[in-house]
């Protein structure tokens, strides 16, 4: 130990139990009682970490030696297991374990390790105002393993591996502490010992293998040298972790269970190690089959810039349920500033009646790894800063940070505007070429790129040009969503004509958005990183894009724009885009329609391939003409749709206040279609004081349906107030009026009248015209459908006989009227759909009425292919 000479050196041995850490701290403080306090505090901290490591990993008697000389302090911590080498200090910012050696490296003036055949000693020195610690010092001569075997792990996601290693160390550390207290949690001591040992070996090997620079894709192939006889120990580690998962779900551990993606990765890792040690061949992580709840092979990497730059209202939260990013559209939608939201609890944006449910669901997700709404489009209300409700359709994605944490990114699309364009899963296509062994991607030769980009060695034939134009028009007409249509068109153009396709469009406020960047190879650079709002077209803008946006072109660019043309922020942005795309030549053309410039199309080919020529400009002119018509038509349709939906929503009434009755209603447009429908609800009070409840659905999904719905609603109100007749007679008169105005229109409707004083009792009289039966749920959770009073739908035969049904409404029961979008699903019988609604309603019988409605939409209305209208009534006597 160098200068550990009496009388300045003392040492003591400690048992292999956890109490040794605190005993070693007291021993060090006593041995350094006359040394500067800051050195003593540091020595006490570091010796505690090193003794803890020795207890956990070496599990032998520990010897601590302390010496002083010339104002310096030296401490050594030895164990009798030299074959257990040190794992290099790798400490991500959010790591829960593995920080001991990293602390020594940061705080010690000098440090190192000494080892021989019998013992290993980790030592550190401290002195006031000492030199900075050395960059290394943890190297140790460890006796070689008698027999090693190579294990190849293909396509390891670095962030996920880091998160799983942190989680394994945290679990095993807690199990060791529990075992030291006599609670093995039904685990075998031999399994626990073997699990610790092999986990340390695996971590050491993977840490060493990960020292190479990280590839851009975050996927890498690792070569591990593991003991040839390690397979039984790996199986023991798996048994221990499986039991720990069960105990964590039972909340018997402080460590939370690993999320589904981590569990799947861990199973793959252990299968690969154990299998290859017994002769199996490697299988890449990226080709393994997965359960639906396990995300794609390459989880979207967390990028706060993408959230802030998105045009869709977007908010991101971490595993602690705190908002870590929000963009301007989201803040404006909810009445906040973006910086005001960051750091707040996510419950700030959740209505009070849903907060308990949210907290329970979030806790359940952390405990079980299972979630109800991630990856689904769900209609629900958000809370505005002023306390009001904002109807939105929510879509949540999970993303991963570089150190393996999970981030939840939520898009909130107002339900009064166009439906949410749900992000597509970023999985690799099954037809995509396999990766190279080192984790890279095979690259095409220049001639291959030229053939793919150009479609032929010497340009496109006239037939191929006509075919391309026809297919382009078809791609744009196959979808009503503008951005999705442009992406389909971009994929077509990059298959037949170019390596890259870029579309920039003017917004209604004369700003420019890069709405679409598509690459020929879907595994290329992430195109979304280049999308978003562009700098303005200023007077200083003189580059190709600025010229085209002013109406020039098509322009042929045989090379990337020279830096001298980058006089404005827009020009510099365009030049940077060319650099990022690796463009060798390009064609830039304006999108013109109805004498207006809508935007610009940029087609580029990579350097080394066949460049664009003057002959391509004529084709480009035809292409942009077709694209511009598609863009113009899509925008006209979106405007029409927006008008129709605003009309539809404007006709949804403010519910009346009726003494003794509570009412709640919800309306959600379809998440999968850009069309509006004829769903509606209504409630009002008749002159005699009775409350009316109505729900209906006009056949069709277009502006005509919305107009017919508005007319039916108005006629029904007039007839009901004027006549105050039984429901069957009111529906007969409505059918007669509808037949005279819309001979081809059909609709379903339930018209009900609720009679009763504020104290009760209450009675429902209702008649149905082909609509789904109302559901009555008692406070005790008993449910029944009110099927009496059913009749033919409106628009078929106005002279058909209709009947009125009577039903008592018990106090605190819930009467639910709903449209078919809430329950009907493709390939499912109506009976099964009605049974599912019955079960959900029974579970929510005692919930507040707002919670009742919102939970129904969350549980049943996610991803609905139809509009949804819900009206709920609950008789509630005062007091």
Calculate ∠ Cα 316-414-695, nearest 5°.
135
| pLDDT (0 to 100) of residue 94 | 41
- Residue where a domain stops, chosen among 613, 641, 669: 641
| Lowest mean pLDDT across 243-252, 292-301, 657-666, 783-792 | 292-301
Examine the fold and report which residue of 390, 414, 438 is the final residue of a domain before the chain moves on. 414
pLDDT at 143: 47
Is the residue at 425 inside a domain? no
Q: Give which of 815, 788, 818, 816 is closest to 802, Cα–Cα.
A: 788
Tell me the pLDDT band of 403, cut-offs 50, 70 and 90. low
CATH at 368: 3.30.450.20
Which pair of structure tokens corresponds to residue 597?
Answer: 């410039």
Assigned domain for 164 exists = yes
791: CATH: 3.60.40.10
CA distance 546 to 555: 12
d(CA 815, CA 694): 12
Which pLDDT score is estimated for 470? 76
Residue 327 in domain: yes
**115-146 residue pLDDT tens:** 887 888 999 988 877 665 555 555 554 444 55
Q: Is residue 511 part of a domain?
A: yes
Taking a C-beta distance cutoff of 8 angstroms, is the pair 494, 452 a contact?
no
The predicted structure's pLDDT at residue 526:
59
> Is 374 in the same domain as 500?
no
Q: Does 392 lie in the same domain as 469?
A: no
Domain shared by 630 and 656, yes or no:
no
Q: Which range marks the domain in which residue 99 is found? A: 9-126
The single-letter DSSP state of residue 655 is P
- Does pLDDT of 690 surpass 80? yes
pLDDT band at 538 (very low <50, low <70, confident <90, very high): confident
More confident residue, 483 or 98: 483
**pLDDT greater than 70 at residue 284:** yes
Confidence band of 743 (pLDDT split at 50, 70, 90):
low
* Confidence at residue 296, expressed as pLDDT on a 0 to 100 scale: 41
Cβ neighbors of 792 (< 8 A, separation 6 or more) are 769, 770, 800, 802
Q: Would the pLDDT of 168 be above 80? A: yes
User: What residues have CB less than 8 Å from 100, skipping those under 6 apart?
Assistant: 49, 50, 52, 53
Asked if residues 400 and 407 have their Cβ atoms less than 8 Å apart, the reply is yes
**Judgement on whether residues 626 and 556 belong to the same structural domain of the protein:** yes
What's the number of domains the chain is made of?
5
Mean pLDDT of 789-793: 91
Q: What is the pLDDT of residue 453?
A: 40
Residue 796 has pLDDT above 70, yes or no: yes
Comparing 818 with 310, the larger pLDDT belongs to: 818
Task: Pick 219 or 843 by higher pLDDT.
Answer: 843
Map tokens 């970490």 to a residue: 49
DSSP element (H, E) containing 437: none
Using N-to-C axis directions, what is the helix angle for 231-249 and 189-209, rounded to 10°? 110
Write the pLDDT tens digit of every residue in 831-856. 889 999 999 999 999 999 999 998 88
Residue that is last in its domain, among 228, 256, 287: 287
Pick the most confident of 149-153, 702-706, 719-723, 808-812. 808-812
Helix (H, G, I), strand (E, B) or coil at 584: strand
d(CA 515, CA 631): 12
607 and 459: one domain? yes
Instruction: Judge if 560 and 455 occupy the same domain.
Output: yes
Burial letters for 420-437: b for 16+ Cβ neighbours within 10 Å, e otherwise?
bbbeeebebeeeeeebee
Average pLDDT over the chain, rounded to whole?
A: 79
Q: Span 677-705, mean pLDDT?
A: 85
The whole-number average pLDDT for the span 244-254 is 82
Helices assigned H by DSSP within 665-750: 703-723, 727-741
Rounded to an integer, the average pLDDT of 342-363 is: 84
Residue 158 makes CB contacts below 8 A (sequence gap 6+) with: 210, 214, 218, 219, 220, 402
Q: Check residue 12 and give its pLDDT.
A: 92
**Is 198 in a helix, a strand, or coil?**
helix
Please check whether residues 620 and 657 belong to one and the same domain: no
Residue 102, classed as helix, strand or coil, is helix
557: enclosing H helix or E strand? strand 555-557
Q: Which of 219-233, 356-370, 580-594, 673-687 has the lowest mean pLDDT?
A: 356-370
672 within domain boundaries:
yes
- Per residue in 379-391, pLDDT (tens digit) is 888 889 888 888 8
Structure tokens at 273: 């190690």
In a domain, 441, yes or no: no
Residues 379 and 239 both lie in one domain: no
CA distance 682 to 550: 50
Residues 541 and 479 in one domain: yes
- Pair (798, 818) in one structural domain: yes
Question: CA 336, CA 853: separation in Å to the nearest integer?
Answer: 27
Region 577-586: what's the mean pLDDT?
A: 82
My answer on whether 217 and 71 are in the same domain is: no
Rg (CA), the chain: 34
Do 312 and 250 fall within a single domain? no
Averaged pLDDT, 302-326: 81
Residue 427 lies in a domain: no
Tell which wins on pLDDT, 537 or 661: 661
Q: Would residue 297 count as lying in a domain?
A: no
Find the angle CA(126)-CA(129)-CA(131) to the nearest 5 degrees. 75
CATH number of the domain that residue 93 is part of: 3.30.565.10
Long-range contacts of 844-851 (CB under 8 A, 24+ apart): 844/777, 845/777, 845/778, 845/779, 845/780, 845/781, 845/814, 846/779, 846/781, 848/353, 849/662, 849/663, 849/664, 849/814, 849/874, 850/351, 850/353, 850/664, 851/353, 851/354, 851/357
């Amino acid at each position: 130990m160098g200068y550990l000479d009496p009388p300045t050196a003392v040492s003591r041995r400690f048992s292999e139990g956890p109490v040794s850490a605190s005993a070693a701290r007291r021993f060090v403080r006593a041995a350094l009682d006359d040394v500067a306090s800051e050195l003593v505090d540091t020595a006490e901290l570091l010796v505690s970490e090193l003794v803890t490591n020795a207890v956990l990993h070496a599990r032998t008697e520990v010897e601590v030696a302390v010496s002083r000389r010339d104002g310096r302090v030296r401490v050594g911590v030895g164990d009798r297991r030299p074959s257990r080498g040190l794992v290099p200090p790798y400490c991500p910012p959010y790591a829960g374990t593995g920080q001991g050696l990293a602390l020594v490296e940061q705080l010690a003036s000098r440090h190192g390790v000494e080892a021989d055949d019998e013992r290993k000693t980790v030592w550190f020195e401290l002195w006031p105002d000492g030199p900075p610690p050395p960059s290394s010092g943890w190297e140790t001569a460890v006796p070689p393993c008698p027999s090693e075997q190579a294990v190849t792990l293909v396509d390891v996601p670095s962030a996920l591996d880091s998160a799983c290693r942190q989680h394994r160390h945290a679990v095993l550390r807690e199990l060791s502490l529990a075992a030291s207290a006599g609670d093995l949690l039904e685990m075998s001591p031999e399994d626990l010992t073997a699990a610790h040992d092999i986990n340390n070996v695996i971590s050491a090997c993977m840490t060493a293998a990960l020292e190479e620079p990280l590839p851009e894709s975050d996927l890498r192939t690792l070569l591990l040298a593991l003991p040839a006889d390690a397979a039984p120990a790996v199986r023991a580690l798996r048994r221990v972790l499986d039991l720990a998962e069960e105990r964590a779900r039972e909340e018997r551990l402080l460590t939370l269970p690993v999320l589904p993606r981590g569990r799947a990765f861990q199973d793959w890792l252990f299968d690969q190690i154990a299998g290859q040690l017994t002769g199996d061949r490697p299988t890449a992580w990226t080709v393994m089959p997965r359960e639906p709840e396990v995300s794609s092979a390459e989880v979207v990497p967390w990028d706060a810039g993408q959230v802030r730059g998105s045009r869709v209202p977007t908010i991101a939260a971490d595993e602690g349920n705190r908002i870590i990013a929000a963009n301007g559209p989201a803040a404006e939608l909810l009445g906040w500033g973006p910086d005001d939201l960051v750091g707040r609890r996510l419950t700030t944006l959740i209505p009070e009646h849903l907060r308990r449910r949210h907290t329970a669901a979030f806790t359940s997700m952390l405990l079980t790894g299972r979630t109800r709404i991630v990856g689904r489009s769900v209609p629900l209300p958000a809370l505005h800063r002023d306390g009001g409700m904002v109807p939105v359709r929510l879509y949540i994605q999970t993303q991963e940070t570089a150190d393996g944490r999970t981030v939840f990114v939520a898009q909130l699309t107002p339900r009064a505007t166009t439906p949410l364009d749900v992000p597509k899963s970023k999985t690799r296509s099954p037809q995509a070429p396999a990766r190279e062994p080192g984790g890279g991607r095979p690259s095409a030769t220049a001639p291959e790129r030229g053939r793919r980009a150009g479609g032929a060695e010497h340009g496109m034939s006239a037939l191929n040009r006509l075919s391309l134009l026809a297919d382009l028009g078809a791609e744009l007409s196959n979808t009503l969503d503008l951005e999705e249509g442009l992406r389909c068109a971009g994929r077509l153009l990059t298959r037949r004509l170019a390596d890259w396709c870029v579309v920039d469009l003017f917004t209604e406020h004369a700003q420019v958005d890069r709405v679409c960047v598509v690459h020929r190879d879907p595994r290329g650079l992430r195109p979304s990183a280049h999308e978003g709002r562009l700098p303005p077209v200023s007077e200083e803008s003189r580059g190709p894009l600025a010229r085209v946006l002013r109406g020039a072109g098509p322009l042929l660019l045989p090379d990337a724009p020279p830096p001298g043309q980058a006089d404005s922020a827009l020009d510099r942005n365009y030049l940077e885009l060319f650099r990022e795309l690796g463009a060798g030549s390009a064609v830039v053309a304006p999108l013109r329609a109805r004498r207006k410039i809508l935007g610009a199309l940029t087609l580029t080919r990579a350097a080394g391939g066949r460049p664009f020529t003057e002959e391509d400009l004529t084709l480009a002119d035809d292409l942009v003409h077709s694209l511009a018509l598609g863009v113009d038509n899509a925008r006209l349709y979106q405007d029409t749709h927006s008008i129709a939906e605003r009309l539809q929503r404007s006709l949804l009434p403010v519910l009346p206040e009726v003494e003794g009755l509570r009412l709640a209603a919800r309306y959600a447009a379809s998440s999968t279609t850009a069309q509006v429908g004829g769903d509606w609800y209504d409630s009002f009070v008749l002159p005699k004081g009775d409350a009316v409840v109505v729900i209906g659905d006009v056949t069709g999904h277009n502006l005509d349906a919305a107009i017919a719905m508005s007319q039916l609603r108005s006629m029904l109100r007039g007839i009901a107030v004027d006549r105050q007749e039984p429901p069957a007679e009111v529906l007969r008169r409505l059918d007669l009026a509808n037949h005279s105005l819309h001979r081809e229109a059909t609709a379903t409707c339930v018209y009900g009248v609720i009679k009763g004083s504020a104290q009760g009792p209450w009675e429902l009289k209702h008649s149905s015209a082909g609509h789904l039966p109302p559901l009555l749920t008692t406070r005790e959770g008993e449910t029944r459908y009110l099927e009496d009073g059913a009749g033919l739908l409106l628009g078929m035969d106005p002279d058909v006989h209709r009947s009125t049904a009577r039903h008592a409404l018990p106090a605190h029961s819930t009467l639910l009227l709903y449209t078919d979008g809430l329950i009907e699903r493709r390939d499912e019988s109506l009976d099964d759909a009605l049974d599912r609604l019955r079960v959900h309603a029974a579970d929510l019988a005692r919930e507040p009425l707002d919670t009742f409605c919102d939970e129904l939409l969350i549980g049943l209305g996610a991803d609905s292919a139809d509009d949804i209208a819900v009206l709920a009534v609950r008789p509630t006597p005062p007091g």
